[in-house]
Chain A
Amino acid sequence: MASDSIDVRYVAKLARIALTDEEVERFGAQLGDLLEHVRALEKLDTGSVAATAQVIASRNVERGDDVRGCLDRETVLEQAPQRQGAFFRVPRIIAAE
């Protein structure tokens, strides 16, 4: 199992969470501690074991291609943090140039 210490800033970037310096330090120590605990799994021989995908027998579920009711647009949009007409409004994604 990997033994690298966790690069909290990099992982926080992947997770889209801004962290303060204090959080980087605190979470780094706590996550390092947790990783030490989960390394106990190295003692289990899992070489020939199949990974669990689901705990009960299940299969893909497909529904018929039928028109069904759904939430109306206004109900959904009225809780948007920002909207513009019938759309969710977000910060600019594509550069102006």
Chain B
Amino acid sequence: MSKETIESSAAAIAGRVGARELSAAEVTEAALGRIAASDDAVGAYLTVLGDGAREHALRVDARIAGGESLPLAGVPLAVKDNMCLTGTRTTCGSKILENWIAPYTATAVQRLLDAGCVPVGKTNMDEFAMGSSCENSALGVTRNPYDLSRVPGGSSGGSAAAVAAFEAAIGTGSDTGGSIREPGAFCNAIGFKPTYGRISRYGLIAFASSLDQIGPLTRTVEDAALAYDAMAGFDPMDATSVDRPVETAATHLRRDLKGVRIGIAREFDTAKLGAESHACYARAYRDLEALGAELVEISLPTADYGLATYYLIAPAECSSNLARFDGVRYGLRVEGDDVQAMYEATRAAGFGAEVKRRILIGTYALSSGYYDAYYVRAQKARTLIAADFAKAFETCDLIASPAASSPAFEFNAKSDPYSMYLMDYYTIPFSLAGLPALSVPCGWVTPEGGSSPMPMGLQLAAPLFEERALLGAAHAYEVATSHATRHRPRLAEVAK
């Protein structure tokens, strides 16, 4: 199979497999070959499925032979390692689950398999999805395919890097404060977080339940729409999944932005991101206008409180969710003299520093005497942030902003936890309001001291449940600007 095929879009692969020009088995073999050639350098995967993937592929080919029409036939799928896939190791990037084998499959993953995807591996991530660089993984290092000395972003950095390095066409991600959009921006990918509740989280290991949402990472907007169409919709196994009809998105991709009002928040001053980034976003906004959009100045006066609000709510919820890792029913156990000592030793050995920090801050914020001062106040601030967005959307249809505070940075560049948190400054407010948002490539900037141009991401966001309008507009921008195809990942030296 040609290099062009494995580097083509999920839509193109599915088209050729559906037309029986190619078999899912051939595509899978090519994807596994690409992983073998480049993943030692990239490190996107914690587990490569090999024969498991080949078996899935044969089943897809049998379904095609049986006359089934599959929207994602034979498409190589990378699954973030916080999502269950029966019989595969599902680690959450943590020592506490290092050897845990999922006994069932997450609904979102199952729906992609039903649509014809072939899972080729499980991808690296910041431990329990807490981080913005993948550096918090306890189990492996993932490098940015566009500059191996830089991080891929996080927490869904493994899936983003796999897609960028052509080691999969679709990656699943989960986004709590920016964990799909920021790695998407860092790796020249589309990173799409749908509305809270749109995609079932059954089988997703929980981090912060009022925020977590699954979504795709892909190389094209059309592929993101196809993956979304497959995954979205009510699931009785997730009590927070929304029982509301899903409007398919892949059938409504646009070529222009005529009649679309796009809000630019006066509070999001891109000048502070440096001259090159500022120019990049200024051009992106002009390009939206050139496609027919009307740019509207909006105000999000409480957006600046997003980080403070998030870093109370998310840790509070994680401290509760991660209480289940106690060494009793699954995962790591470290023995102690009594049950209390066993819990403490297990969690001390099983969790990394960032996870411990967040459990501690969350426990503190929820503890007696502090609950009202911290958690309740943050939930009130969240109400104000959501109200700001509702007001802004009275005068615009979409909001555009940077997707991350900088292009991909070098390893160990953010040793102070708060400096890492700042990467998600632009994505967090949208998460707090539950809004659908995505990152789409919008240009290239060579960071100071860097040797390669690195991809930049434009965040586009829409009102609740307006995924179709969001993806449609992102497609128009993507096709008109073609930023993503301007540079190739720097893997020539490894994938000989």
Contact = CB atoms under 8 A, between A and B. Distances in A.
Contacts of B374: 1-2, 38
Contact of A27 (B339, B357, B367): B357
B327 interface: yes
19 contacts: A2-B370, A6-B364, A16-B326, A17-B347, A27-B357, A30-B357, A30-B417, A31-B364, A33-B417, A34-B361, A54-B240, A55-B382, A55-B386, A56-B434, A56-B464, A79-B100, A79-B331, A81-B330, A93-B339
Nearest to B376: A51
Contacts of B351: 17
A70 B333 CA distance: 25
Nearest to B363: A15
Nearest to A13: B344
Contact of A92 (B338, B363, B386): B338
Contacts of B393: none
B197 A58 contact: yes
Given A12-B360, A58-B197, A80-B329, A38 B308 contact: yes
A88 B490 CA distance: 50
B338 A16 contact: no
B305 A40 contact: yes
Given A18-B347, A80-B329, A51 B383 contact: yes
A93 B340 CA distance: 9
B384 interface: yes
B311 A8 contact: no
Pairs A-B, 5 closest by C-beta atoms:
A55-B434, A81-B333, A51-B379, A46-B380, A18-B344
A50 interface: yes
Given A38-B308, A81-B332, A14 B363 contact: yes
Contacts of A41: 305, 308-309, 312, 377-378, 381
Given A11-B363, A37-B311, A52-B382, 12 more contacts: A1-B374, A2-B374, A15-B359, A16-B326, A19-B356, A35-B361, A41-B308, A52-B210, A55-B196, A55-B382, A80-B328, A80-B330
A90 to B, nearest CB: 6
B369 A2 contact: yes
B242 interface: yes
Contacts of B383: 49-52
Interface in A28-87: 30-31, 33-35, 37-41, 44, 46, 49-56, 58, 60-61, 63, 71, 75-76, 79-82
B308 A54 contact: no
B30 interface: no
Secondary structure call for the B interface? helix
A79 B418 contact: no
A88 B333 CA distance: 12
Given A14-B367, A27-B360, A52 B418 contact: no
Contacts of B307: 37
B381 A44 contact: yes
B120 to A, nearest CB: 24
- The residue in A15, A41, A61, A79 that gathers the most chain B C-beta atoms within 10 A of its C-beta is A15
B302 interface: yes
Contact of B356 (A27, A49, A75, A88): A27
Contact of B312 (A38, A52, A61, A92): A38
B22 interface: no
B370 A52 contact: no
B405 interface: no
Interface in B318-364: 319, 323, 326-333, 335-345, 347-348, 351, 353, 356-357, 359-361, 363-364
A16 B305 CA distance: 31
B105 to A, nearest CB: 12
Contact of B345 (A18, A79, A92): A18
A50 to B, nearest CB: 6
A18 B239 CA distance: 34
A71 B104 contact: yes
A85 B98 CA distance: 24
B103 interface: yes
Contacts of B195: 56
Contacts of A76: 103, 329
Contacts of A23: 353, 356
Given A1-B374, A50-B383, A63-B236, A11 B344 contact: no
Contacts of B347: 15-18
Interface in B207-261: 210, 236, 239-240, 242
B466 to A, nearest CB: 13
Contact of B360 (A8, A49, A54, A61): A8
A35 B333 CA distance: 32
B373 interface: yes
Interface string B179-214: 000000000000000011100000000000010000
Contacts of B338: 91-93
B92 interface: no
Contact of B328 (A19, A27, A46, A90): A90
Contact of A11 (B333, B364, B416): B364
B321 to A, nearest CB: 12
